Amino acid sequence: MDADSHDLIEVRGATENNLADVSLDIPKRRLTVFTGVSGSGKSSLVFGTLHLADVDQLLALLDRLVEDGSTVIVIEHHQEVYAGSWAARATSTGAATWAYKRLDASQTSLYYRIRFKLLSQASNVNLLKFRTGSGTSLLGVYVTSTGRLAYRNDVAGQSLTSSTSVATGTWHTLQVHVVVNGAASQTETWLDDVQISQLSRTESLGTDPIGRVQLGENSTGRTYDVAFDDIVADTAQIAP
């Protein structure tokens, strides 16, 4: 359910620490105070239940990847956040920083939307990719080192750069639609809800359907700092 489509935060059956099957409704956009004697479960409810639920929503689409024992995308609290309390942040001076989600079922048509904030960059930086179920990259959308929105058709090995600039230091909405249909495959790209005609066209993307979506940069040797939030994939166009 969309977080803004209802007015209550619903807690059902919370059992964190000393909470014993606690259920309650908390009004949104209001100041709510939890009081009680020591050990009554205030901290378990606020920090152990509500606080972590925001992380669960962000990670619902993502499998957090681990390389050499370290998480490659850092989940941050109350820093560079589009909405809620948590967001993902990819900061690198050369290491890859990426995560992916395997779809429940492969799709030949998929919309993928992210919110991102480009804090700094000294190189090209990938924002998202569409991959097959086996992990082969189909198409990746990135920001060039000169700040232009671009994508690379990894099946054909060809890149296309638009004239659209991506401003740093502000949140953007990026939505990409890919249809896999051999030489008649299609791409549609929107930045801040405006369609980018140069990145909306017929492409040759093969016939293997989309089985994974990627967030972040999987290449090494690049320098950038990007925050990500509010990540959604769907077979229908995603509302702003």
The predicted-structure confidence for 125-159, as pLDDT tens digits, reads as follows 999 999 999 999 999 999 999 999 999 999 999 99
Distance CA 95, CA 44 (A): 36
Complete DSSP assignment for 5-62: S-SEEEEEEE-STT--SEEEEEETTS------STTSSHHHHIIIIIHHHHHHHHHTS-
How many residues can be counted in the chain? 240
pLDDT band at 23 (very low <50, low <70, confident <90, very high): confident
In this prediction, residue 62 carries a pLDDT of 46
In three-state secondary structure terms, 198 is helix
The residue assigned the tokens 């909306």 is: 200
In three-state secondary structure terms, 69 is coil
* Type of residue found at 34: F
Tell me the Cα Rg of the chain: 20
DSSP 237: P
Is residue 35's pLDDT more than 90? no
In three-state secondary structure terms, 199 is helix
Residues of the chain with CATH 2.60.120.200: 72-234
Is residue 63's pLDDT more than 50? no
- Alpha-helical segments (H) within the chain: 42-45, 51-59
CA 43 vs. chain centroid, Å, equals 29
In this prediction, residue 100 carries a pLDDT of 86
> Which range, of 28-37, 140-149, 220-229, 231-240, averages the lowest pLDDT?
28-37
CA 225 vs. chain centroid, Å, equals 15
Q: What is the pTM of this model?
A: 0.72
The mean pLDDT of the chain is 83
Nearest to 218 by CA among 104, 116, 130, 110: 130
In this prediction, residue 84 carries a pLDDT of 79
CA 87 vs. chain centroid, Å, equals 9
Please, what is the Cα angle at 200 between 229 and 102, to 5 degrees?
45
Alpha-carbon dihedral angle through residues 25, 27, 28, 32, given to the nearest 10 degrees? -110
In three-state secondary structure terms, 141 is strand
Please, what is the Cα angle at 92 between 205 and 231, to 5 degrees?
50
CATH topology of domain 72-234: Jelly Rolls (2.60.120)
